[in-house]
Structure 1
Amino acid sequence: MNVNVLLEPAVDLPRLQKILDELGHLGRVDTIRGWDKKTQAQLYEAARGFRLITLDDFVPSSMEPLHEVIHHGKNTLPSFSHFQKRFCKPEGDAKELIGYNHQQMQWATGPGYFVVHPSETEGEVDIDYLRVPATKPAAWPPIKDNDHGFGRLVYGGMVDVMRGVSQHVSVGRARKNGKFIDAWFVLCREDPTTN
């Protein structure tokens, strides 16, 4: 769905949120995949403090540990811009989530494992590549750190700072070595099955 009329000259986040919430999953994914770098940067700025998000936006509280929740993504890279971030709760009573990047270049970059936790800014969430989980679901690839090989260039020193757009859609900006860089992405959560 083309919602660009809601993005110019200024982002109308309340209307955009309502439309995204009313669309089905495929409509939401199709919509976010149409957003370019300029649009994602505008959304990120507009979303500051708009819809406060928590870990439950990434993995609903009803999910059991190690049950995968897929978020379909679109980044601002010139190629290989479609990907998935896969999240789950770890075993035990952790106050964090774990996850990895599922994408075409995974054979070169590695899985890009991360730990997810609340950000320093209330209502934002950090996807933290500086830390890797100790456990994972059996179907996920082997855990590798982000400090070696080609993956170091992609994930090393990185934290993605996430802001909420709608019930299923969030927007993020990458921070490398403590500084924001010109790299944004949007995620659309696929409602998980509970079995």
Structure 2
Amino acid sequence: MHLDVFLEPAVDLPSLAKILDELGHLGRLDTIRGWGRRTQARLYEAAQGFHPITLDDFVPPATDPLHEVIHHGKNTLPSFSHFQKRFCKPTDAAAEDKAELLGYNHQTLMWATGPGYFVVHPSEASGEVDIDYLRTPKDKPTAWPPIQDNDHGLARLVYGGMVDVMRGVSQHVSIGRAKKKGTFMDAWFVLCREEPSA
């Protein structure tokens, strides 16, 4: 669905969020997959402080530990721009801090880059969340690939030293910008949460 009327000449985030909330999953997914680099960069700036995001936006509170929640993604790379980030709550035994989630990147080149495991926690900035590749989960759902750190091989080039800083757009949609070694990169991506299966 094209919602360009809410993006030009200025981003009308309240109206855009309302429409996204009213769309079903497939409508939201079709919408975000049409957002290119310029749109994502503008949305990221507009989203600052708009919809304070928490860990509950990534994994709903009623979800059991180690139950997968899939977020479909669209990044600003020229190719291989569709991917998934898969999240779950940790078991109590595996959580260093209860205010965290676990996850990995499910994408076409995973065989080469590794799964890109991460830990999710509240950001230093209020209302934002960090997807932190500097930390490696200690547990995972059985079906996920083997846990690897991001310090070796191609994983180091892709994920090493990286933190994605996330902002909220609507109830199911969030937007992130990559930061490496403390410096923001010109790389954005948008996520659309799929409701977890029972």
TM-score normalised by structure 2 residue count: 0.97
Match of 1:57 in 2: 57
Verify: 1:98 aligned to 2:87, yes or no. Answer: no
Q: Match for residue 114 of structure 1? A: 118
92-101 or 21-30, larger mean C-alpha shift: 92-101
155, 161, 171: which is aligned to 1:157? 161
Aligned twin of 1:130: 134
Q: Is the 8 A contact 2:70 2:85 kept in 1?
A: yes
What is the letter of the counterpart of residue 3 of structure 1?
Answer: L
In structure 2, distance between residues paired with 1:49 and 1:95 = 20
Counterpart for residue 184 of structure 1: 188
Residue by residue over 1:59-103, the C-alpha shift from the partner in whole angstroms, topping out at 9 and shown as x without a partner, is 001000000000000000000000000000000162200000000
CA distance in 2, matches of 1:76, 1:150: 20
Give me the whole-angstrom Cα distance separating, in 1, the residues matched to 2:143 and 2:20. Answer: 31
**Identity rate, percent:** 77
SS at match of 1:16: helix
| Equivalent residue for 1:148, pick from 152, 167, 185 | 152
Distance 2:136 2:39 in 1: 31
Any conservation in 1 of the 2:87–2:102 contact (CA below 8 Å)? yes
Gaps of 5+ in 2: none
Q: Deviations over 1:114-136 (max 9, x none)?
A: 00000000100000000010010
Contact preservation (8 Å) 2:99, 2:122: no
TM-score, with normalisation over the residues of structure 1?
Answer: 0.98
One-letter code aligned to 1:90:
P
Q: Is the 8 A contact 2:167 2:175 kept in 1?
A: yes
- Unaligned runs of 5+ residues in structure 1 are none
1:135 counterpart letter in structure 2: D
Counterpart in the other structure of 1:22: 22
C-alpha RMSD of the superposition: 0.7
Distance 2:175 2:4 in 1: 16
Query: Runs ≥4 in structure 1, deviation > 2 angstroms?
Result: none
Q: CA deviation at 1:5?
A: 1.3
Shift of 1:193: 1.9
Aligned residues: 194
1:167 to 155, 168, 171: 171
State the secondary structure of the residue aligned to 1:95.
coil
Paired with 1:119 and 1:101, the residues of 2 have a C-alpha distance of 20
CA distance in 1: counterparts of 2:148 and 2:40, whole angstroms: 29
- Deviation, 1:29, is 0.4
